[in-house]
């Protein structure tokens, strides 16, 4: 993308003014376009892909980008463009489901810890400390390996690893809401805990959780791709960008296109998701800005 | 003292967590050691030998007892002590991690300061753009791009292996750049915060040169919060070594972990993860302790 000054939003807000935009004006629509295209590719890859991703063309092995293989072919003579298009499903599922697992489990943990307080809070927080004492990737690796290699298990592993970050944010949010006077007022007129949580606490944490889960999608996609890159997660022939990269890596000296295009696909998707997450944050929760 | 106690507690918890997760492993390591042609009896014998037929708690007690004696168990695959095998890999991983953190710090601080000083100018925008890439790019893709450019096309540096410093350059640059993103963001916002403090205006009013204000006064204060992310940085580096060592075919703990995983060599996997986690916890404890020493305001 071009980053020339004419391309950028020129804001003349004073230094201490409202939050300013740091990204080019086109970043948001472009990202939305990328995400929509990827979702279409994930739902109906057959509509977009010129070839079947399992078709092996014996006459076109490791062919550079040319007609009809626009992004070249791999070591089996499969069409890279079609593989990349069919691979969108795995990455989007990984991003969406892992975040759902981590966000729900983490959100619930944080809610319980923050609302119950005292001993419960202490126990849960110590558990999370232990959790976070194993570096992310290593924990994901042993959980994925422990559950057995399959796509579903890799999703669970990535979700499991990300629980603490959601739990911590949720806990902080819950505690700050619980200190507000209207909660005390609500308690004093005899509202039940369940009702307070559902009616008062959850709505106040929603915006923040939505923002950090959106930003978490990118992280989940990256972690999932890294797991399949080192050979965990993919056991069937389901096209997967991380796995394509690891295969393409072996041919990097003779076929630059093999690893480059799946890599670009991951990068484009994660950038797009992050830009959308940033936009969402600016809109919903400016306080979260770094 | 309380911090050290906390760290010990976390380490004990980590040992238990790692042990429990890994003993869900569905595959039977004994069958793997024995090979495809082994009879059921041989496999049962090997299982007894490895101790994987005993109940979980008994394996756990034996494991903890071993740990306290500095014994991480015996590798299923090579029958060598795990600690010895891992220890031999520590130097190469250490070198990679140290140099990468140097690259990450240098890139993070330099670009963060430039972005803050030129806030909202083209320098800042360009750096923000690079930052978006660095946080969205898978480390292994950055590594492959580096190999494509510097090894395949320019033929400047070797892509794989370890031994000479030339083989260290690409892995270090790859890991360092990937981990520099967070630092860059911290440094930028840290410097911006400090620049708004009244004492900066006083210094400028006294007629100090901008350069002097920035390097001797602003930077010193801005870098204090950065210390807190060093712990997180180490975690990212340790995670990154797994992928980077595999990608660049380097020896090291991360690579050994991946290899051990493929042959279900549980003791080696367990040992590697524990070693990394203990290192991670200790670094974080030191960061916690040093924070009070660097910034006197948090001491009380």
Report the alpha-carbon distance of residue A32 to residue A272 in Å, rounded: 7
If you measure CA to CA, which chain A residue comes closest to B182?
Answer: A290
Residue A17 has pLDDT above 60, yes or no: no
Mean pLDDT, range B144-164, rounded to an integer: 86
Angle formed by the axes of helices B122-136 and A256-284, nearest 10° = 110
User: Any CB–CB contact under 8 A between B110 and chain A?
Assistant: no
If you measure CA to CA, which chain A residue comes closest to B119?
Answer: A15
User: Any CB–CB contact under 8 A between B18 and chain A?
Assistant: yes
Which two three-digit tokens encode residue A230? Answer: 């080192």
pLDDT, tens digit, 9 for 90 and up, residues A186-213 = 989 988 899 999 888 999 898 889 989 9
pLDDT at B266: 81
Q: Are A229 and A245 in contact (CB under 8 A)?
A: yes
Report the alpha-carbon distance of residue B198 to residue B203 in Å, rounded: 9
Residue A13 has pLDDT above 50, yes or no: no
pLDDT, tens digit, 9 for 90 and up, residues A153-186 = 889 999 999 999 999 999 999 999 988 899 889 9
Interchain pair A252, B152: CB under 8 A = yes
Q: Are A167 and A110 in contact (CB under 8 A)?
A: yes
Residue A268 has pLDDT above 90, yes or no: yes
pLDDT at A2: 35
Mean pLDDT, range B215-223, rounded to an integer: 84
Q: Phi, psi (5° rounding) for residue A73? A: -130, 165
pLDDT at A9: 35
Mean pLDDT, range B73-79, rounded to an integer: 80
Interchain pair B138, A3: CB under 8 A = no
List CB contacts of A19: < 8 A, sequence separation 6 or more.
Answer: A282, A286, A289
> What's chain A's average pLDDT?
84
Least confident of A279-283, B9-13, B224-228: B224-228
| pLDDT, greater one: A101 or B54 | A101
pLDDT at A288: 57
Nearest CA among B250, B237, B267 for reference residue B85? B267
pLDDT at A147: 80
Contacts of B132 in chain A (CB under 8 A): 23, 271, 274-275
Q: How confident is the model at residue A11 (pLDDT cuts 50, 70, 90)?
A: very low
Residue B116 has pLDDT above 60, yes or no: yes
Interchain pair A131, B239: CB under 8 A = no
Interchain pair A226, B138: CB under 8 A = yes
Integer angstrom CA distances of residue A223 from A89, A98, A138, A270, B273: 16, 10, 11, 11, 17
Q: Phi, psi (5° rounding) for residue A127? A: -60, -40
Least confident of A232-236, A237-241, B126-130: A232-236
pLDDT at A216: 93
Interchain pair B140, A229: CB under 8 A = yes
Mean pLDDT, range B128-146, rounded to an integer: 91
Mean pLDDT, range A91-105, rounded to an integer: 95
Q: Looking at chain A, list the stretches that DSSP marks H as alpha helix, in order from N- to C-terminal side.
A: 27-43, 45-48, 80-116, 118-132, 136-147, 151-178, 181-188, 193-196, 202-229, 241-250, 256-284
Report the alpha-carbon distance of residue A136 to residue B232 in Å, rounded: 10
pLDDT at B40: 78
pLDDT at A112: 94
Residue B26 has pLDDT above 50, yes or no: yes
- Partnered with residue A79 across adjacent β-strands are A73
pLDDT at B298: 62
Mean pLDDT, range A257-286, rounded to an integer: 89
pLDDT at A14: 37
Interchain pair B235, A136: CB under 8 A = yes
pLDDT at A234: 59
Which two three-digit tokens encode residue A229? Answer: 């890159």
pLDDT at B33: 67
Contacts of B127 in chain A (CB under 8 A): none
Report the alpha-carbon distance of residue A159 to residue A155 in Å, rounded: 6
Which two three-digit tokens encode residue A117? Answer: 């307080």
Q: How confident is the model at residue A8 (pLDDT cuts 50, 70, 90)?
A: very low
User: Any CB–CB contact under 8 A between A10 and chain B?
Assistant: no
Question: Which residues of B, range 184-243, sit inside 8 Å of A by Cβ?
Answer: 185-186, 189, 196, 235-236, 238-240, 242-243
Least confident of A40-54, A79-93, A276-290: A276-290
Mean pLDDT, range A1-12, rounded to an integer: 35
pLDDT at A4: 37
- Cα distance from B21 to chain A (closest Cα, Å)? 6
pLDDT, tens digit, 9 for 90 and up, residues A109-156 = 999 999 998 899 999 999 998 988 899 899 998 888 878 778 888 899
pLDDT at A18: 39
Least confident of A21-25, A64-68, A268-272: A21-25
- Partnered with residue A73 across adjacent β-strands are A79
Contacts of A230 in chain B (CB under 8 A): 242-243, 246, 258
Contacts of B14 in chain A (CB under 8 A): 130, 133-134
pLDDT at B294: 75
- Partnered with residue B81 across adjacent β-strands are B74
Question: Which residues of A, range 168-227, sit inside 8 Å of B by Cβ?
Answer: 218, 222, 225-226
Integer angstrom CA distances of residue B180 from A219, A246, B174, B295, B297: 16, 24, 10, 23, 27
Percentage with pLDDT > 70 across chain B: 93
Chain A with chain B: Cβ pairs closer than 8 A: 164
Residue B141 has pLDDT above 90, yes or no: yes
Interchain pair B242, A274: CB under 8 A = no
Residue A95 has pLDDT above 90, yes or no: yes
Interchain pair B235, A135: CB under 8 A = yes
Question: Where is mean pLDDT largest: B37-41, B172-176, B193-197?
Answer: B172-176
Residue in B128, B138, B147 nearest the CB of A252: B147
Q: How confident is the model at residue A286 (pLDDT cuts 50, 70, 90)?
A: low
Classified as helix, coil or strand, A79 is strand
pLDDT at B36: 65
Q: Are B114 and B127 in contact (CB under 8 A)?
A: yes
| pLDDT, greater one: A277 or A234 | A277
Question: Where is mean pLDDT largest: A272-286, B13-27, B88-102?
Answer: B88-102
Q: How confident is the model at residue A22 (pLDDT cuts 50, 70, 90)?
A: low
Q: Quick check: bond before A237 cis, omega within 30?
A: no
Residue A290 has pLDDT above 60, yes or no: no
């Amino acid at each position: 993308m071009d980053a020339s000054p004419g391309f950028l939003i020129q804001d003349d807000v004073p230094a201490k003014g409202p939050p300013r935009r740091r990204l080019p004006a086109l970043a948001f629509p472009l990202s939305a376009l990328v995400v929509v295209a990827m979702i279409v590719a994930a739902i109906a890859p057959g509509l977009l892909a010129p070839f079947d991703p399992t078709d092996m063309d014996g006459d076109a092995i490791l062919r550079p980008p040319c007609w009809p293989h626009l992004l070249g072919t791999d070591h089996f003579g499969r069409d890279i463009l079609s593989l990349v298009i069919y691979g969108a499903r795995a990455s989007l599922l990984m991003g969406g489901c892992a975040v759902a697992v981590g966000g729900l489990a983490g959100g619930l943990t944080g809610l319980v810890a923050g609302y119950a307080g005292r001993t419960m809070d202490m126990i849960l927080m110590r558990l999370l400390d232990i959790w976070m004492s194993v570096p992310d990737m290593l924990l994901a690796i042993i959980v994925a390996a422990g559950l057995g290699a399959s796509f579903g298990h890799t999703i669970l592993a990535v979700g499991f690893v990300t629980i603490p970050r959601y739990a911590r944010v949720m806990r902080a949010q819950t505690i700050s809401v619980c200190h507000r006077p209207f909660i005390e007022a609500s308690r004093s007129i005899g509202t039940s805990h369940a009702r307070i949580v559902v009616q008062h606490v959850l709505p106040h944490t929603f915006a923040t959780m939505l923002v950090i889960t959106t930003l978490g999608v990118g992280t989940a996609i990256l972690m999932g791709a890294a797991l399949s890159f080192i050979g965990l997660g993919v056991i069937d022939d389901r096209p997967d960008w991380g796995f394509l990269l690891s295969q393409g890596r072996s041919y990097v000296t003779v076929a630059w296109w093999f690893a480059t295009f799946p890599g670009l696909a991951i990068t484009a998707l994660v950038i797009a998701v992050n830009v959308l997450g940033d936009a969402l944050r600016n809109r919903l929760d400016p306080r979260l800005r770094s | 003292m309380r911090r050290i106690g906390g760290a010990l507690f976390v380490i004990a918890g980590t040992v238990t967590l790692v042990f429990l997760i890994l003993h869900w492993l569905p595959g039977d390591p004994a069958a793997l050691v024995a090979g495809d042609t082994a009879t059921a009896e041989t496999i049962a014998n090997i299982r007894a030998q490895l101790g994987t037929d005993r109940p979980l708690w008994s394996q756990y007690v034996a494991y903890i007892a071993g740990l306290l004696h500095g014994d991480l168990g015996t590798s299923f695959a090579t029958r060598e002590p795990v600690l010895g095998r891992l220890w031999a890999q520590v130097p190469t991983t250490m070198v990679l991690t140290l140099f990468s953190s140097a690259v990450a710090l240098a890139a993070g601080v330099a670009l963060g300061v430039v972005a803050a000083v030129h806030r909202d100018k083209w320098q800042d925008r360009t750096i923000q753009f690079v930052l978006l890439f660095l946080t969205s790019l898978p480390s292994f893709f950055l590594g492959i791009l580096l190999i494509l450019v510097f090894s395949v096309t320019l033929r400047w540096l070797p892509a794989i292996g370890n031994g000479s410093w030339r083989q260290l350059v690409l892995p270090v640059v790859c890991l360092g750049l990937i981990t520099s993103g967070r630092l860059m963001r911290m440094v930028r916002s840290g410097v911006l915060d400090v620049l708004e403090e009244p004492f900066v205006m006083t210094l400028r009013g006294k007629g100090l040169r901008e350069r002097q204000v920035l390097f001797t006064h602003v930077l010193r204060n801005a870098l204090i919060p950065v210390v807190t992310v060093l712990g997180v940085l180490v975690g990212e580096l340790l995670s990154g070594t797994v992928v980077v060592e595999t990608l660049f075919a380097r020896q090291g703990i991360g690579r050994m972990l991946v290899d051990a995983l493929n042959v279900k060599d549980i003791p080696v996997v367990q040992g590697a993860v524990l070693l990394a986690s203990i290192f991670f916890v200790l670094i974080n404890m030191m960061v916690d302790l040093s924070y009070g020493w660097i910034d006197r305001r948090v001491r009380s």
